[in-house]
Amino acid sequence: MKILFYNIGYGRGHTGSILSYLKRLDRFFYTSTHAQRKVLDQCVALIDEVAPDVVVVAEILSGSFRNQQLDQQAYLKATVVQTVLASAIDSKYGVAALGKLPFHFGNGNSVLSFVPAAITPLFMSTGRKKLVFEVETKGMTMFSVHLPLVEHHRQAQLLELVKHVNDCQGDVVVCGDFNIFGGVRELDEFLAATNLTLAGAGEATYPSAGPRQQFDLFLYRFKNSQVRPTVTVLPTQASDHLPVLLEWEL
């Protein structure tokens, strides 16, 4: 089983360095379809090479005046080699008025599954970024998160997520951009409450130009305690985050 998580930064092509942000400052306000396609084509090449079962994408645009109404999810679905069997995209902000503001409209997260899957959007009650996807496939339940920038909002969402995780009977994976500026110690209570394990060995994923912080990660709980998944941080620099791949034998 392979799960790929990638925060693509809305296809703006930043690499996380100060110079990158300054040189492409205009892309925070407007990004041409040409620039986006260059980024999305790198994402497609990565997906085609890795051949994951499920791809989780953070910071993807469903279309707005800021990106010439390009539906980035539709572009990925139409361009990848594998057949997409299930997919979903939704606003990061839920049904809140925030998602209708000019510089928030169209901002979302998404899931592409190349295996049969049931995908359900959940919305946390705290924070600006509320969306969590629940994906059920192959006897596994996966939750994808994009946690808020404010620590007490992150903790509140993790606390709320505990019940969802503990309601699952089979294998469980939680992945996403956790924005843990305080480091993995922010996850201590969540890990203890859910019996999840942090996958990997502390691989940094942000910024992609000289990674220093571990924001993008996987947590897991498998019924077979002997199973040890592997984590690979991939070198694709299409965004200011690096993509991360979780892999294990079912």
Amino acid at 140: M
Q: Which of 215, 136, 229, 119 is nearest to 176 (CA)?
A: 215
Using the CB atoms, write b or e for 164-175: b if 16+ within 10 Å.
bbeebeebbbbb
Residue 245 corresponds to which tokens in the numbers above?
């791949």
Domain hosting 84: range is 2-247
Peptide bond into 207 cis (omega under 30): yes
Query: Distance between the two ends of the chain, CA-based, in angstroms?
Result: 6
| Confidence at residue 250, expressed as pLDDT on a 0 to 100 scale | 76
What confidence score (pLDDT) does residue 99 get?
58
pLDDT surpasses 70 at 11: yes
* The total number of structural domains that make up the chain: 1
Region for 230 from its dihedrals, namely left if φ exceeds 0, alpha if ψ lies in -120 to 50, beta otherwise: beta
Residue of 130 and 250 predicted with greater confidence: 130
Per-residue tokens: 115: 């295996």
Q: What is the pTM of this model?
A: 0.95
Please, which residues bridge with residue 54 across strands? 3, 113
- Mean pLDDT (the chain) is 95
* CA–CA separation, 73 and 89 (whole Å): 7
Task: Give yes or no for residue 218 having a pLDDT over 70.
Answer: yes
- CATH number for 220: 3.60.10.10
If one counts every other C-beta atom within 10 angstroms of the C-beta of residue 118, the result is 12
> How many Cα neighbours within 13 Å face the side chain of 137?
25
Q: How many CB atoms lie within 10 A of CB 93?
A: 21
Mean pLDDT of 65-87: 97
| pLDDT level of residue 12 (50, 70, 90 thresholds) | very high
For residue 121 the two structure tokens come to 């959007």
Phi, psi of 7 (to 5 degrees): -90, 110
pLDDT in tens, 196-206: 999 998 899 99
